[in-house]
Structure 1
Amino acid sequence: MDEQDPIGFAPSAAALEAIARGTIAKLPARFAEHLGDVLLLIEEVADEETLAELGIEHPLDLTGLYHGQPVGEKSTTESGAEPDRIHLYRRAILEEWIETEVRLDELIAHVVIHEVGHHFGLSDDDMQTLEDQVAEDGPA
């Protein structure tokens, strides 16, 4: 089988990243303009330290995580801080995809928007509104 032919294989980290970046590209400009310095990282699963900090026992129970300080809480006097990061955990996302039978692009969009929401300090209702706006534009 050709490497370019993904039939029979789980989507790669690169495929998940492409969907996630497509979701980010659909965000309204007022959000997108503040995401340029946020790193998007695709990892297989969360590390043990992260899971312990969050009180999560199984690595497949965490699909995404925002590390950083929400936009409204940032200070111009801070220096030396690590960049804000959105982590997507590939195996957990794929497990949820299999269990829920939700379209993969919709699931990734949901996780990305939830983590973007943390970056902006949005409420769950605001995140849902943003997710609905992005969904209206079609698949990522």
Structure 2
Amino acid sequence: MPLEIAPAAFDRLVEEALDSLPAEIAARVHNVVLLIEPQAPPEDPDLLGVYDGVALTERAANHAGDLPDRIVLFRDNLLAMCTTPEQLADEVRITVVHEIAHHFGIDDARLDELGYA
């Protein structure tokens, strides 16, 4: 049975995950918005999160004036895979780190090596 928590409590877990980032990493995340949606898109229903943007390693020198990159977490999928609040906190943090890594141009293969895939 999936874990159930209030949306505000889930938001706090996301905030805690962001606050746990090392300062040197957090300082380099610019023009990125983190959103929480209840469900993943129908075309990819198993997603926990997604990065939608241009990685820092792929940006042109004149990259400016664009809308913010987006990181979207899918609350229902994260809740469905967890049975305890501690497990949920871990999965939220792993997913946040995973998607921020994509912002820095780190691909899934490297994330898997690091334990974040």
Question: Which bracket does the TM-score occupy, shorter chain normalised?
Answer: 0.7 to 0.9
TM-score (ref. length: structure 2): 0.78
Aligned residues: 111
Identify the structure with bigger relative contact order (alpha carbons < 8 Å, sequence gap 6+): 2
Taking the aligned partners of 1:112 and 1:125, their CA distance within structure 2 comes to: 14
Structure 1: gaps spanning 5 or more residues = 1-8, 132-140
- Between the aligned residues of both structures, percent identity stands at 33
Structure 2 residue 61 is matched with structure 1 residue 33 = no
SS at match of 1:41: strand
Residue 14 of structure 1 aligns with which residue? 8
TM-score (ref. length: structure 1): 0.67
Letter in 2 for 1:108: V
Letter in 2 for 1:25: D
Match of 2:111 among 113, 119, 124: 124
Shift of 1:65: 0.5
Taking the aligned partners of 2:56 and 2:113, their CA distance within structure 1 comes to: 15
Taking the aligned partners of 1:126 and 1:32, their CA distance within structure 2 comes to: 22
Letter in 1 for 2:49: G
Taking the aligned partners of 2:37 and 2:60, their CA distance within structure 1 comes to: 29
Structure 2: gaps spanning 5 or more residues = none
Residue 78 of structure 2 aligns with which residue? 93
Shift of 1:75: 2.5
